[in-house]
Amino acid sequence: MAINILANDGLHPAGVDMLEKAGYNVILNKVTQSQLIEYINDNDVSVVLVRSATKVRQDIIDACPGLKLIGRGGVGMDNIDVDYARNKGIHVVNTPAASSDSVAELAMAHLYGMVRFLHDSNRNMPLDGDSKFADLKKHYAKGQELKGKTLGLIGTGRIALAMAERAVGVGMKVIAHSPSGQNKSVSLSFFDGQTIEVTIENVPMGELLKTSDFVSLHVPKQPKAILDAKSIEKMKDGAAIINTSRGGIVDEEALLAAIDSGKIRYAALDVFENEPTPAIKVLMRPELSLSPHIGASTLEAQARIGEELAEAIIEKVPN
């Protein structure tokens, strides 16, 4: 009898194809959180795959004795009671490497857009481009180049290092901070097969904040903000912040206050304190470059996530 897999937040066709060829039954129905326990038990589901929308907490784990594996398509697993599930003998897996390039490229896209005010000009050109062209041209004429600037990375995981590769390629100086205190190296690969190794120096947090033109966060969910009012005050005047990591690690109130005072010139947010209903005062600020938590949402990343989850299921829950 085929093992039933509920991909409650969807699964790329590449992963579905791998699993079905291996004899698994993949269910792509979207089940509401309140009906999840009943659905899992009624349909003899052994594997539940989620992204960020569905939560698998202790209540589900206790009420669904047939569960053998919980899979998270992505990096963070704060929507799963991981330790509790593992203590119950349930496998818990994620796909930490699959979306690194996608998130890093989004962070760089925000960075490129901010320094030339594209996030704001794309709002105003459709409104006033035909009547106030000269005014807009003057307004957006004080952009910056990335080459020669310093990027400070908070965190030195896969995504941070993927961003470091791209920033070094642009000609930026890249420094980082992580509790390990260890320097990291990144390898830049070129179209003709050449590679260059570059060392990313690990510096104290205070030094990173003081010397970085741009600070990008790449850390797991935290119990409190990393960049709060006190930390932001230590930053270089006119610096910028990029957060494609987790909502809540940048204090949004403190960020807006720093923008008002001129301490922070602009910031990019892909994640928010209150998802999926970010604060209106955040959404309306022209100094903010915004996206709706799409860091890992590329066609390539979704295919890799699907394939990695399929491989983990085939290995750990053989049909």
Q: Do 231 and 249 fall within a single domain?
A: yes
Conformation bin of residue 106: beta by default, left when phi > 0, alpha when psi is -120 to 50: alpha
Q: Do 240 and 128 fall within a single domain?
A: yes
What pLDDT is recorded for position 75? 84
Q: Which range marks the domain in which residue 226 is found? A: 100-290
Residues pairing with 264 in the sheet = 239
What pLDDT is recorded for position 11? 96
Buried b (16+ CB within 10 A) or exposed e, 127-144: eeeeeeeeebeeeeeeeb
Q: Listing from the earlier edge strand, what are the strands of the sheet with 25-27?
A: 25-27, 4-7, 45-50, 69-72, 91-94
Q: Do 75 and 159 fall within a single domain?
A: no
What pLDDT is recorded for position 76? 84
What pLDDT is recorded for position 52? 86
pTM > 0.85: yes or no = yes
246 an active-site residue? yes
pLDDT average, residue stretch 56-72: 98
Q: Does pLDDT of 250 surpass 90?
A: yes
Q: Which CATH number belongs to the domain containing residue 48 in this structure? A: 3.40.50.720
- Residue 54 CB-half CA count within 13 A: 25
Question: Please, which residues have CB within 8 angstroms of residue 172's CB and are 6 or more apart in sequence?
Answer: 146, 147, 148, 149, 150, 151
119 an active-site residue? no
Percent of the chain with pLDDT over 70: 100
Q: Do 65 and 111 fall within a single domain?
A: no
pLDDT in tens, 291-313: 999 999 999 999 999 999 999 99
pLDDT average, residue stretch 181-197: 94
Q: Does pLDDT of 55 surpass 90?
A: yes
What does pLDDT average to over the chain? 96
Percent of the chain with pLDDT over 90: 95
Question: For residue 267, which of 102, 111, 121 has the smallest C-alpha distance?
Answer: 111
Confidence class of residue 314 from pLDDT cuts 50, 70 and 90?
very high
User: How many domains does one find in the chain?
Assistant: 2
With H, G, I as helix, E, B as strand and everything else as coil, classify residue 47: strand
Q: Do 42 and 159 fall within a single domain?
A: no
Contact 278, 303 (CB under 8 A): no
Residues pairing with 214 in the sheet = 151, 240
Q: Does pLDDT of 14 surpass 90?
A: yes
Confidence class of residue 203 from pLDDT cuts 50, 70 and 90?
very high
Catalytic member of 246, 265, 285, 304: 246
275 an active-site residue? yes
Q: Do 158 and 276 fall within a single domain?
A: yes
Query: CA distances (Å), 34 to each of 80, 84, 90, 139, 305, in order?
Result: 16, 20, 21, 50, 26
Q: Measured between alpha carbons, how far is 206 from 213 in angstroms, rounded to an integer? A: 14
With H, G, I as helix, E, B as strand and everything else as coil, classify residue 152: strand
Instruction: Give one DSSP letter per residue of 170-228, joined into a string.
Output: HT-EEEEE-TT---EEEEEE-TTS-EEEEEEEE--HHHHHHH-SEEEE-----SS-SB-
Confidence class of residue 12 from pLDDT cuts 50, 70 and 90?
very high
Q: Do 118 and 220 fall within a single domain?
A: yes
Residue type, 37: I
Q: DSSP assignment, residue 130?
A: T
Q: DSSP assignment, residue 317?
A: S
Q: Does pLDDT of 3 surpass 90?
A: yes
pLDDT in tens, 265-299: 999 999 999 999 999 999 999 999 999 999 999 99
Q: Do 37 and 68 fall within a single domain?
A: yes
Q: DSSP assignment, residue 3?
A: P
Catalytic member of 38, 145, 233, 275: 275
